[in-house]
Structure 1
Amino acid sequence: MIHHVLGLFTHPDQEWRQIRGEEESISHLYLTHTLILAAIPAVSAFIGTSQFGWTQAGRLPVLLTVESALTMSVMSYIAMLVGIAIMGAFVHWMARTYDATPSLARCIAFATYTATPLFIGGLVALYPHVWIGMLVGAAAVTYTVFLLYVGLPTFMNIPADEGFLFSSSVLAVGLVVLVAIMAATVIIWGLGMGPMYIG
């Protein structure tokens, strides 16, 4: 499944048609694609925050302790996997409205492939820098939304106008999931599991 990553960036229309023709189990999908790609931002953030840190106005770098960076990375990794599963389940549920009948595994595959730019963009966390992170993050989100709107009609084999409405619903739910994850993070940090800094 990793071979689809390049295609999603070079010729997304054709790649979505190829992906539509495949049928994978959820376990195989997670083992060969989701678990690997979701690890990119988590591992990058661990290395970046514990080894390089980030600087503010020419001061010494701010670093997390290894234990804290590991905890934060594992929690973000789990949140990404859960988020993908939730989005796939929503796409599966919503597909009935548009007379599409994809399996749950195919819907999770769609959610995973759509989120690929966000996973790849996570490489920027290797060297934490606010402005670079914001620029790469904005580009990754923009391309993810593009993949969603281009890919959903093709993947679900529905008309473009219905695909636009379907994609807009998925985007709205994605934003709700993101806000829920952020709220859960604040609550967890409030319970004493927040970041621990060196020095």
Structure 2
Amino acid sequence: MNLVQRVQDILLRPKRTWPEIEAESTDAATLYREYVLILAAIPAIAGFIGLSIIGAGAFGVSFRLPIVTGLVQAVVSYGLSLVMVYVLALVVDALAPSFGGQRSPIQALKLVAYASTAGFVGGIFSLLPSLAVLGALVGLYSVYLFYTGVPVLMKCPADKALVYTVVFALCAIVASLVLGALLSVFTPTPRMPVGSVATALVFA
């Protein structure tokens, strides 16, 4: 799989790309190694640079997170992002029968991983904390990606895709808040984002 091409395809041509993804044979380890581990690093690294190297500031007051604290925060944020993708995939798989879909752990993981692309890529805006809101807006596109992908990968009727997406988004928000709280235990505010669909719904 060409990583750059896949990112472009899922962002720009999702309706054409989802059937290709659905037909691909893969496993969780390969999907993480070739896609999730790489893209999830974007918001973590960008957040570290933005908060610890460049710094945040407003009204003449600037702030930089100490380097060690920033590194710890980046590592924890990155780890939680990886956990988030897996947990949300379990949720998607469990919800499938309720919306007339078919359960498939690997298809659910593919759906969440690739739908998260916009949230991961939007994390690049964390390089400049003042532009973090743009990252959140880009991340919201992940909701649309999920909506277009769920009928294909989870085989739910098209007329139930919207409700499926809404229920998933609510679960994602709850999961994001829980993991955000865990992140705050390890690091002080301001926090870096947990780069995933759920986080894109809540904060950048």
- Residue matched to 1:154: 152
2:60 is the alignment partner of 1:96: no
Identity %: 28
Which stretch of the first structure deviates more once superposed, 95-104 or 162-171?
95-104
**What aligned pairs does 1:118-137 form with structure 2 within 5 A after superposition?**
118-129=119-130, 132-137=131-136
Distance 2:156 2:94 in 1: 15
Query: What's the RMSD between the two structures over aligned residues?
Result: 1.8
Asked whether the equivalents of residues 47 and 74 of structure 2 are also in contact (C-alpha less than 8 Å), the reply is yes
Normalising by structure 2, report the TM-score: 0.85
Which residue does 2:54 correspond to in 1? 52
Q: Unmatched 5+ residue regions in structure 2?
A: 191-204
Aligned position for 1:170: 168
Of the structure 1 ranges 48-57 and 91-100, higher mean CA displacement relative to structure 2 is found in 91-100
Q: What is the CA deviation profile of residues 20-61 of structure 1, one whole-angstrom value per residue up to 9, with x for unaligned ones?
A: 1112110000100010000000011111212110112123x3
Match of 2:14 in 1: 12
Displacement, 1:112?
Answer: 0.8
The code of the aligned residue for 2:137 comes to A
Secondary structure of 1:55's match?
Answer: strand
2:77 is matched with which residue? 76
Contact (CA 8 Å) 1:149, 1:167: kept in 2 or not? yes
Deviations along 1:82-129, one digit per CA (max 9) or x if unpaired, are 110010011111223345335312211110111111100010111221
| Amino acid in structure 2 at the alignment position of 1:80 | S
> Residue type of the partner of 2:19?
R
Q: How many residues align?
A: 188
1:182 corresponds in structure 2 to 180
Are the counterparts in 1 of residues 55 and 63 from structure 2 also a CA contact under 8 Å?
yes
Work out which of the two has the higher radius of gyration on C-alpha atoms and give 1 or 2.
Answer: 1
Q: How far apart are the structure 1 equivalents of 2:47 and 2:149?
A: 29
Consecutive unaligned residues of structure 1, counting only runs of 5 or more, are: none
Describe the superposition over 1:131-181 as per-residue Cα deviations: whole angstroms up to 9, x where unpaired: x2113312322x111111122112223321122222222111111111111
TM-score when normalising by structure 1: 0.87
Q: How far apart, in 1, do the equivalents of 2:161 and 2:58 lie?
A: 44
Residue from 142, 166, 188 that aligns with 1:194: 188
